[in-house]
Amino acid sequence: MNRILADTLIVTWRNLKRIPRIPELAIFAILQSIMFVVLFAFVFGGAIPLPGGGSYREYLMPGIFAQTIVFAAATTAIGMADDIHKGLLDRFRSLPMARTAVLSGRMASDVVYNAGILVVLMVSGFVVGWKLNTGIPELLAGIALLLLFAFAMSSIGVLLGLGVPSVEVAQQVGFTVLFPITFISNVFVPPSTLPDWLQPIAEWNPTSTLTAATRELWGNPNPFVGTGLPAEEPVLVTIVWAIVIIAITLPLGVRRYRNMSR
């Protein structure tokens, strides 16, 4: 147990070291989110009425945070695939280290990385007009929920990164799957504006429940139509989502890692 923890910390340290050494990665991740903020807060936002009123920018920012967190899956998948491609995974696997520390270290460092990005985005959010209408406990609860979800997405990323043949494929799969998931949601528009058949998907979409949960926690406009469970208990549904995702993908990822010796 001790060894697992020690080795996880070393792998985490190593992954975090690279962030300041390839600053482009973090900068572009932040710029991508800021681009969405600019696009929707200043360009489309005026044309999107919120049922029940409220500030669109206040509505938008929690969605942007959630969207960023969903992309944690791609970050992890790319990092994993890169380690395989460069032969580092083989080196790790030839060492007498705790076997799963490669995976837990990757997930831990990606959660830290996403926490950093979240801080930058929150500050940017304040600049464009996002507000916290509740207190610090709610703020922290919202952040904890986002990071729990980041962990779940990283778990998907491990599974994906170990399964793709190259870094480029990891990138492609990440973006072609994650973009639609973050768009068929309540991130940018209220789901009531979507076609009927898409509405249940958008409501149950974990991106939506995560967004609705933080909006609710922080007192931001949250015009979630419908009376289903995701609308009424977004925090609970998000936690369940995260646990289900982790319970399914983490064992599969560990198994795929062990099966690399097949």
Partner 1 sequence: MRAITAEGLVKVYRTRSSEVRALDGVDLEVEQGTVVGLLGPNGAGKTTAVRILATLLRPDAGRATVAGFDVVRQAQEVRSVIGLSGQYAAVDENLTGRENLWMFGRLYQLPSGESTRRAGELLEQFDLTDAGDRVVKTYSGGMRRRLDLASALIGRPRLLFLDEPTTGLDPRSRLGMWDVIRSLVREGVTLLLTTQYLEEADELADSIAVIDHGRIIARGTADELKSQVGGERIEVVVHDRADLPRAEEVLARDGSGQWTLDEHTRKLTVPATGGTAKLVEIVRDLDLAGVVIDDISLRRPTLDDVFLTLTGHGAEDDARETAGPGAAA
Among 34, 93, 138, 225, binds partner 1 (CB under 8 A): 93
Q: What is the DSSP letter of 147?
A: H
Which of 147, 120, 148, 160 is CA-nearest to residue 23? 120
Which of 155, 150, 165, 134 is CA-nearest to residue 58? 134
Beta carbons of 256 and 163 less than 8 angstroms apart: yes
Span of 1-9, 37-45, 73-81, 228-236 interacting with partner 1 by CB under 8 A: 1-9
Span of 5-13, 127-135, 170-178, 195-203 interacting with partner 1 by CB under 8 A: 5-13
- Rounded to a whole number of angstroms, the minimum distance from the CB of residue 85 to partner 1 is 10
Tokens of 144: 């904890």
Does residue 96 touch partner 1 according to CB under 8 A? yes
Distance separating alpha carbons of residues 174 and 74, to the nearest angstrom: 5
Does residue 141 touch partner 1 according to CB under 8 A? no
Does residue 261 touch partner 1 according to CB under 8 A? yes
Does residue 95 touch partner 1 according to CB under 8 A? yes
- Rounded to a whole number of angstroms, the minimum distance from the CB of residue 104 to partner 1 is 13
Among 27, 31, 39, 88, binds partner 1 (CB under 8 A): 88
Does residue 262 touch partner 1 according to CB under 8 A? yes
Distance separating alpha carbons of residues 171 and 28, to the nearest angstrom: 14
Cα-only R_g, the chain = 19
Does residue 21 touch partner 1 according to CB under 8 A? yes
Residue 78 C-beta-side C-alpha neighbours within 13 Å: 13
Distance separating alpha carbons of residues 79 and 74, to the nearest angstrom: 8
- Rounded to a whole number of angstroms, the minimum distance from the CB of residue 31 to partner 1 is 21
Interface with partner 1 (CB under 8 A): 3, 6-7, 10-11, 13-14, 17-18, 21-22, 86-88, 90-97, 101, 260-262
